[in-house]
Amino acid sequence: MNAVSTPEKKPSRRGLLAIVIIAVVLVAIVVVHLLHSKKPQRVAAAQVVTVATATLGPMPVTLSSLGTITPIATVTVLPQLSGYLTAVGYHEGQDVEKGQFLAQIDPRQFEISKQQAEAQLAKDKASLAQSKADLARFTQLNEHKSIAEQTFVDQQFLVQQNEAAVKADQANIAQFDLDLIYCHITAPISGRIGLRLIDPGNYVTASSQPGIAVITQMKPTTVEFTVPQNSLDQVLRRFNTGAKLPVTVYSSDNTRKLATGELYTVNNQMATATGTVTLRASLPNDDEALFPNEFVNVTLLVDTLQNAVLVPTSAVQSGAPGDYVYLVNDNNTASVHKVTIGPTSGQYTAIISGLAAGQRVVTDGLDRLSDGAHIRPAAASAAPASGASGAQGAHGASAASVPAGASAARTAHRAHSAHAAASSVASSAAS
């Protein structure tokens, strides 16, 4: 029994060894094939961007600042004498003209004082007439040496005293006439009157606060604003030549244009705390859209650059190189291009140096852009076109990645096929 069973085990060991050797060889072939197979090269997809062409055009040089509407005249009407206020002749908030009646102070005490002054004037005039008559008689007697010289001289002095007394009486009457005028209070300027500050029946005194009323001239008006000292030189160079510098006033939220005018004066001192100087511009304000002490935004047009190189403001970037743009090259690549920027109007920016008219720059799609990156310019004239280009670019990017994915799939398929072949050989050998 043992002699018969021993030969049956030997072929089984040799078969197992053959299977192991074949499996190792197949695995080695697969590993070598995988190591020496070329990895697929990924081609970076071109980034879709919006492109604009630099053009030549005028660029306004403006200065923007916060301003305050400042009336040309604001007057607080104060009583100029003391007395009871008997009447008020205005309505709150109404427009008044210069000389229009506003209020009345009881004039009776001043009328009585005037009558007393007139009576004193009549008495002094009579004394003057008598002294002049005596002087005429003394003159004749003095010519004949019939009176003492001192008597004649004293009479001359008496006439002069009476003449002075008459003039003093006339001045007193004029003062009482003026007091009667002051009792009738009128508007010193034309403008809009404010809220009533005192009611009839109150006793007022000369220059008593808060006064009778406040009148503010509404039109024309002015706006005061400041400019930094570094910008003052270009303003003065234009202003001193007699040029009219336009000023535009916008609402405090900068959404509405309120008025236009022109600069007419520059303050004679600079504020050392802020390094600014105050400017003042006149505004017609015919529609009274500007209200006194209102805060507004002011834009001063200093000059206009002609034939300036203009690009959309969104194309200008700031970073480590300074101010730069992404320049579009002929081979559809973008390169960082340093520029020197000038004034801006919000939508467009002037390029002083570093860019010429006709060159193209990237205006949108800058977030992932790098120097030397491949780009695909997209039309920016309409939103649907831009969206279509973006969709087309996304589809192109997917198509570009297809070969790499297919190559990897084919490699995996070949490895799987080799492994399946090895398994089948081993199975057949085992059988």
Which H/E stretch holds residue 229? Answer: helix 229-239
Inform me whether the pLDDT recorded for 98 exceeds 90.
yes
> Which pLDDT belongs to residue 319?
85
| Residue of 327 and 44 predicted with greater confidence | 327
Inform me whether the pLDDT recorded for 295 exceeds 50.
yes
Confidence of residue 383 (pLDDT cuts 50, 70, 90): very low
339-372 pLDDT per residue, tens: 999 988 878 999 999 999 999 999 998 888 888 8
Domain 48-59+308-387 has CATH 1.10.10.410: no
For residues 344 and 64, the answer to whether their CB atoms sit within 8 Å is: no
> Which pLDDT belongs to residue 12?
67
Between CA 168 and CA 421 the distance in angstroms is 141
Confidence of residue 380 (pLDDT cuts 50, 70, 90): very low
**Given 2.40.50.100, 2.60.40.1220, 3.40.50.720, 3.30.70.20, which CATH number is that of 74-214?**
2.40.50.100
* Numbered ranges of CATH 2.40.50.100 in the chain: 74-214
Between CA 206 and CA 103 the distance in angstroms is 14
What average pLDDT score do residues 398-416 get?
35
> Which pLDDT belongs to residue 41?
54
Inform me whether the pLDDT recorded for 146 exceeds 90.
no
pTM for the whole thing? 0.65
Inform me whether the pLDDT recorded for 150 exceeds 80.
yes
* Numbered ranges of CATH 2.40.420.20 in the chain: 48-59+308-387
> Which pLDDT belongs to residue 369?
86
> Which pLDDT belongs to residue 37?
63
Inform me whether the pLDDT recorded for 29 exceeds 80.
yes
Say which CATH topology domain 62-72+219-305 has: Elongation Factor Tu (Ef-tu); domain 3 (2.40.30)
| Residue percentage of the chain with pLDDT more than 90 | 66
Mean pLDDT of the chain, nearest integer: 83
> Which pLDDT belongs to residue 310?
95
104-135 pLDDT per residue, tens: 999 999 999 999 999 999 999 999 999 999 99
* Inter-CA distances, 64 with 204, 228, 273, 302, 365, Å: 47, 10, 20, 11, 30
| Residue of 45 and 326 predicted with greater confidence | 326
Which range is least confidently modeled, 177-191, 217-231, 336-350, 370-384?
Answer: 370-384
| Residue of 175 and 372 predicted with greater confidence | 175
Closest CA relative to residue 288, chosen from 145, 157, 191: 191
What average pLDDT score do residues 177-203 get?
94
Q: Please tell me whether the peptide bond between 210 and the residue prior to it is cis, using omega within 30 degrees of 0.
A: yes
What average pLDDT score do residues 280-301 get?
95
> Which pLDDT belongs to residue 384?
30
What average pLDDT score do residues 207-215 get?
89
Secondary structure of 237-301 as H, E, C letters = HHHCCCCCCEEEEECCCCCCEEEEEEEEEEEEEEECCCCEEEEEEEECCCCCCCCCCCEEEEEEE
Go through 300-316 and write b for each residue having 16 or more CB atoms within 10 A of its CB, e for each that does not.
bbbbebeebbbbbebbb
> Which pLDDT belongs to residue 40?
56
